[in-house]
């Protein structure tokens, strides 16, 4: 999931801080996802998907590819 998030963030030219301010998903949460400390909760994933204008399933596909 984080890989796809990072690609969207980089394409949009924004920082984790900017995403955090707009989505109310804390930067520490983004960092925890980056390092695999825990999986994102649906509400946070949905907020990020809406911010970038992609369906929430965009991130779910990533988990299926890892299996």
Please tell me the pTM assigned to this model.
Answer: 0.82
pLDDT of residue 60: 80
CA distances from 13 to 10, 42, 60, 63 (A): 5, 24, 23, 24
> Tokens 């596909």 belong to which residue?
61
pLDDT of residue 62: 46
- Sketch out the chain's domains with CATH numbers: 2-65 (1.10.260.40)
Of 5, 19, 6, 14, the closest CA to residue 56 belongs to 5
| Predicted confidence (pLDDT) per residue in 6-58, tens digit | 999 999 999 999 999 999 999 999 999 999 998 889 999 999 999 999 999 99
CA 55 to chain centre: 12
């Amino acid at each position: 999931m984080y890989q796809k998030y990072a690609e969207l963030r980089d394409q949009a030219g924004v920082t984790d801080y900017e995403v955090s301010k707009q989505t109310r998903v804390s930067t520490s949460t983004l960092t925890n996802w980056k390092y695999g400390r825990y999986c994102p909760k649906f509400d946070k994933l949905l907020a990020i998907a809406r911010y970038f204008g992609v369906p929430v399933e965009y991130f779910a596909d990533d988990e299926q590819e890892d299996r």
